[in-house]
Amino acid sequence: MKPDTEQIENSVGNKKRIHQITLIAILVSCAAGLQMLESPLPRFLPWLKIGLANVITLYAIIRINSLTGIFIAALRTCLAAFILGSFLSPIHIISFSGAVMAAIVMAIIVHFLPKSSVCIVSIFGAIASNISQLLAVQIIFASNLSFLLHIAMIIWIGVPAGLIVGKITYELLRRT
């Protein structure tokens, strides 16, 4: 007895869905691993770091779609925070705000300016992440923090960090 066309289409659709879920799970795991790897590294200010996990977020935005990239950014911060024992703590909230804002900004740029280089998209994501984290720090801890002074530092740190993440993402995209 031959399977009918509908059964074959359902089987193919299920395999594609399973493949997509598996890919997202692998990307979330990789991004969370990168976030945890970077977490103990010293930095000038607690919320200013390179953001290596954004390599995976940007990769997902470009290779899969924007919503998946944003989902990966949100889920990886929760997974990393859960493993590190900081889930729903101020550190997690600051990290979450930066990751999601970076993903949103990168997704908007990729969508509306598709010819932008990966490095430019990444730089804007890094700066958006740092500004979002600074705002979260201000809201949670220090409402009288000198915002303009920190914005200058954010740009000086965000541009090289964005270039590093952009170059790594470019190589990842080129090789896959």
pLDDT in tens, 120-147: 999 999 989 988 888 888 888 766 667 6
* Contact indicator for 97, 132 with CB cutoff of 8 Å: yes
Q: Would you state the pLDDT for residue 163? A: 87
Residue 80: pLDDT over 80: yes
Instruction: Compute the distance between CA of residue 86 and CA of residue 92 in angstroms, rounded to an integer.
Output: 6
Residue 111: pLDDT over 90: yes
Would you call 24 helix, strand, or coil by DSSP?
Answer: helix
- The CATH architecture annotation of domain 5-175 reads Orthogonal Bundle (1.10)
Among 150, 110, 112, 106, CA closest to 126: 106
User: For the residues of 121-134, what is the DSSP string, one character each?
Assistant: HHHHHHHHHHHHHH
**Any idea where the domains of the chain sit in the sequence?**
5-175
Q: Would you state the pLDDT for residue 32? A: 93
Instruction: Compute the distance between CA of residue 133 and CA of residue 149 in angstroms, rounded to an integer.
Output: 15
Instruction: Compute the distance between CA of residue 36 and CA of residue 155 in angstroms, rounded to an integer.
Output: 24
Q: Which tokens go with 103?
A: 């993903």
Q: What is the pLDDT of residues 4-25, one digit of tens each?
A: 666 666 677 788 889 899 999 9
